[in-house]
Structure 1
Amino acid sequence: MTHRTTNNIGPTSPIHLVWDWNGTMRDDLDDHVAALNATLPRIGGPRIDTATYRALHAVPIRGFYDALVGRTITDEEWSRSNAEFLDVLHRRPVRLRSGVRQLMLGLRAAGHRQSLLSLAPHERLLTEVATTGIGGLLERIDGRTGEPAHSKAPALAAHLAALGVEPGRALVIGDSLDDAVAAQEVGAVAVLHTGGLHSAERLAAAGTPLAGTLREAAERGIALLNTRQGTGR
């Protein structure tokens, strides 16, 4: 059975989209910079601008802090700074990227499945998503439940397994190099949005398809997966 549609998000067969949250669905780059500038100087770090954040942000986050401060921070400094950062970020209004809800509705109408995977704390993630009204369009929402991870790959593998989704029919839409690495490690396709937490120049180095909008990311990813299916890859 095929699904017909008048736009470019209808595939020959449905796929599963795994959305990232911060910097992707949630338009919060400025929020991240503000939260970091509210906490980093407390441990001797400098105030940074958006360009510096996008150029240096990396997982694990503790290593990102080390790089900005110029030394290895202590366990106590990390624990306090991370908690303060999250508190500041959590107090900022949640803003969805323009057109997200409409895009998700179109994807669902075309027969696609959708879920959300983030390395943000799970309970905070659920609260933030609930304020946007898009929770009903997502089959599963997973955030982290322990210490900040070194990679998103294990969480992505577990997320897809819990959903019963074959990685080869999964599209990861994110905004960071770690999204691309995680997708590659589990066998999924990734398309990266260039308006998020990592600069377009950094993302280009990953060799992963890039897109300036989330709609373009979905369209490119669907086309790639359909090509993969057609060639038997």
Structure 2
Amino acid sequence: MTHIVWDWNGTLFHDIDAVVGATNEVFRPYGVGPFDPDGFRAVYTRPIWVAYERMLGRSLHDGEWERLDEGFHDHYHRLMLACELAEGALSSLQSWEQAGRTQSLLSMWGHERLVPKVNELGIARHFARVDGLRSASGGPKAEHMAAHILALGLDPENVVVIGDSVDDAHAAQHVGARAILYTGGMTSRADLEQVGVPVVDSLVNALDLI
């Protein structure tokens, strides 16, 4: 492997506390929760509206998803200001670069928010390319991964994707790359292990595997 495609939220950026906190805020009026990270992972799934229905124990009403999603993001963007890079993220970026290899960042978070945050944290120079979501609805990550790999001119056989979700593994498989999944995000270890790719508890362990 000569290139890593990193995921952002829940992988390089340790934002699980902001995700759980924002979720608790939007469900407080319903009398649901509060969740801790493990409790949240137990009900989390994609698409996220299905997880919301699990939390409520019923189907969402017309317009309810849009209100919940908007509320979540309002709270998330406030709470994420206190979040930092994941443990081992900076050292992993540096050691991979020092080994003469390349890396990039592909996130399903909004591109207009992602780029300033990456710059603010001082890590933009480590990436050959940074791509966030440029459309209103992201859908599966696979199509975005294909465009990302194409833009970089990479051979997928030389690429490993490191992320925290089942969607990251599916995106890697879609383009013919390998995947390593990290337990620092929203998905439980049990759900990650069902995918059939390596699962690690630290980013340093991910690099050791490569």
Structures share fold, TM-score greater than 0.5: yes
Asked if residue 85 in structure 1 is aligned to residue 75 in structure 2, the reply is: no
Residue 186 of structure 2 aligns with which residue?
Answer: 197
1:86–1:127 Cα change, 3 Å: farther
Q: Where does 1:1-233 land on structure 2 (aligned, <5 Å)?
A: 15-42=2-29, 45-74=32-61, 76-92=63-79, 93-220=82-209, 222=210
CA RMSD of aligned residues (A): 1.9
1:121–1:42 Cα change, 3 Å: farther
Question: Whole-Å Cα distance in 2 between the matches of residues 163 and 43 of structure 1?
Answer: 46
Unaligned runs of 5+ in 2: none
Identity %: 40
Question: Whole-Å Cα distance in 2 between the matches of residues 144 and 74 of structure 1?
Answer: 27
Q: Which digits, 9 at most, give the CA deviation of each residue in 1:210-233, with x for residues without a partner?
A: 11210111221x2xxxxxxxxxxx
Q: Which protein has the larger Cα radius of gyration, Structure 1 or Structure 2?
A: 1
The question of whether the paired residues in 2 share the 8 Å contact of 1:61 and 1:148 is answered with no
Deviation at 1:59, TM superposition (A): 2.3
SS in 1 for 2:107: strand
Deviation at 1:74, TM superposition (A): 4.1
Question: Whole-Å Cα distance in 1 between the matches of residues 111 and 94 of structure 2?
Answer: 24
TM-score in terms of structure 1 length: 0.82
Question: Whole-Å Cα distance in 2 between the matches of residues 45 and 28 of structure 1?
Answer: 21
Deviation at 1:60, TM superposition (A): 2.0
Unaligned runs of 5+ in 1: 1-13, 223-233
What is the letter of the counterpart of residue 158 of structure 1?
Answer: A
What is the letter of the counterpart of residue 137 of structure 1?
Answer: H
The question of whether the paired residues in 2 share the 8 Å contact of 1:118 and 1:142 is answered with yes
Question: Whole-Å Cα distance in 2 between the matches of residues 87 and 73 of structure 1?
Answer: 20
Question: Whole-Å Cα distance in 2 between the matches of residues 91 and 150 of structure 1?
Answer: 24
Aligned residues: 208
